Amino acid sequence: MVPPDKSVLFVCLGNICRSVVAESLLRHMVAERGQGAAWTIDSAATSDYNIGSTPDSRTNEALRRHGIEESEHIARQITKKDFEQFHYVFGFDVSNMSRLERMKPSGSSVVVEMFGKYGAKGKDDEIVQDPYYSNGTAAFDKVYDQCWRACEHFLNKVVSS
């Protein structure tokens, strides 16, 4: 059984960059609205590359630069059970979405969507690119900006419906 609509799982390749930023932002935003206790928010990876790892240091640097508390998340891989425990499961790129759609149990009512579609400035802005292999912090700031917009638009949609 899928829980109420205030349960979200963010899923990227390694669970040390994009999904952690989105999880941290959504937690921050619902807490600011006084709704933190009403939400279940987590993140996971499609791969097993980083299981047990803490977020990439550039992830936490980006969060800090924007006044968001650093994440202490420990990377984990998505499981079939996650599709029963969350109402929304969000991917960040075509590869994530393909993997999530293949994993989604037949007949499941879980909503599997590209997270970037919320708040995208256009079709080209829906994909949140993996910043891991980039040099410096600019790609992490772009991920932060895309996730901020997406979280705002997603919250406004869920709260208003």
The amino acid at residue 68 is: I
Give me the helix-helix angle, 57-65 and 138-160, nearest 10°.
60
Alpha-carbon distances of 106 from 14, 31, 84, 93, 159, rounded to whole Å: 25, 34, 12, 22, 28
> Which phi and psi angles does 107 have, rounded to 5°?
80, 0
Q: How many angstroms separate the CA atoms of 58 and 92, rounded?
A: 18
CA 116 to chain centre: 9
Q: How many angstroms separate the CA atoms of 82 and 88, rounded?
A: 10
Question: Which residues are marked as active site?
Answer: 12, 18, 130
> Which phi and psi angles does 150 have, rounded to 5°?
-65, -45
